[in-house]
Amino acid sequence: MKRVVITGMGAITPLGNSVNEFWENILAGKSAACPITKFDTSKFKTNFACEVKDFNIEEYIDKKEIKKYDLFTQYAIAATDQAIKDAGLDFTQMDEIDRYDVGVIWATGNGGISTFENQLKEFNGGDGTPRFSPYFIPKMIVDIAAGVISIRHQLYGPNYCTVSACASSNTAIISAFDTIRLGKARIMIAGGSEAAITEASVGGFNSAQALSKNNENPQQASRPFDVERDGFVMGEGAGALILEDLESALKRGATIHAELVGGAMAADAYHLTGTHPEGLGAVLGMSKAIKEAGITAKDIDYINAHATSTGIGDISELVGIKKVFGDLPVAISGTKSMTGHLLGAAGAIESIISVLSVKNDVIPATINTVNLDEAIPEGLNIILGNPVYQKVNYVLNNTFGFGGHTATSLFKKYVE
Residues 221, 278, single domain; the answer is no
Same domain, 280 and 134: no
Mean pLDDT of 136-157: 97
**Of 34, 50, 161, 166, catalytic:** 166
State whether 328 and 184 are in the same domain.
no
Is position 258 within any domain? no
Q: Is residue 386 part of a domain?
A: yes
275 and 141 housed in the same domain: no
What would the pLDDT profile of 345-400 be if each residue is shown by its tens digit?
999 999 999 999 999 999 999 999 999 999 999 999 999 999 999 999 999 999 99
**Residue 394, pLDDT score:** 98
Domain boundary among 251, 274, 302: 251
pLDDT (tens digit, 9 = 90+) per residue, 236-245? 999 999 999 9
How high is the pLDDT of residue 104?
Answer: 98
CA distance linking residue 150 with residue 120, whole number of Å: 29
State the pLDDT at residue 65: 95
- Apex 291 CA angle, 239 and 258, nearest 5: 35
pLDDT at residue 139 tops 90: yes
In a domain, 257, yes or no: no
Residue 341 sits in which domain range?
263-412
Q: Using one digit for the tens of pLDDT, what is the confidence trace for 307-347?
A: 999 999 999 999 999 999 999 999 999 999 999 999 999 99
Same domain for 210 and 300, yes or no, is no
Give the model's pLDDT for residue 224: 98
Do 216 and 268 lie in one domain? The reply is no
Position 233 in a domain: yes
Q: Where is the domain boundary, 217, 251, 285?
A: 251
- Side-chain-side CA neighbours of 172 within 13 Å: the count stands at 39
The total of structural domains in the chain comes to 2
Average pLDDT of span 262-285: 91
Confidence grade of residue 62 (pLDDT, cut at 50, 70, 90): very high
Residue 158 in any domain: the answer is yes
- Are 203 and 270 in the same domain? no
- pLDDT tens digits, one per residue of 2-56: 999 999 999 999 999 999 999 999 999 999 999 999 999 999 999 999 999 999 9
Residues 209 and 297 both lie in one domain: no
Looking at the structure, tell me whether residues 232 and 338 fall in a common domain: no
| Alpha helices (runs of H) in 126-198, residue ranges in sequence order | 136-140, 144-153, 168-181
CA distance 185 to 97: 12
- Mark whether 268 and 223 lie in a shared domain: no
Question: pLDDT category, 204, cuts 50, 70, 90?
Answer: very high
Residue 49 CA, chain-centre distance (Å), reads 16
pLDDT at 122 over 90: no
Please tell me the predicted confidence (pLDDT) of residue 124: 86
What CATH number does the domain containing 393 carry? 3.40.47.10
166 is catalytic: yes
Alpha-carbon distance of 120 to 117, in angstroms, equals 5
pLDDT recorded at residue 356: 98
Among 225, 251, 277, which residue terminates a domain?
251
Three-state DSSP at 109 gives coil
Q: Is residue 256 part of a domain?
A: no
- 211 has which bridge partners? 232
375, part of any domain: yes
State the Cα–Cα distance between residues 211 and 246, nearest whole angstrom: 42
What local confidence, expressed as pLDDT, does residue 164 receive?
Answer: 97
Between CA 387 and CA 384 the distance in angstroms is: 8
User: What pLDDT does residue 96 have?
Assistant: 86
State whether 144 and 13 are in the same domain.
yes
Nearest to 284 by CA among 377, 411, 405: 405
Nearest in space to 354 (alpha carbons), one of 218, 247, 241? 241
Examine the domain organization and report whether 273 and 389 are in the same domain.
yes
* pLDDT of the residue at 42: 96
Predicted confidence band of residue 230 (pLDDT cuts 50, 70, 90):
very high
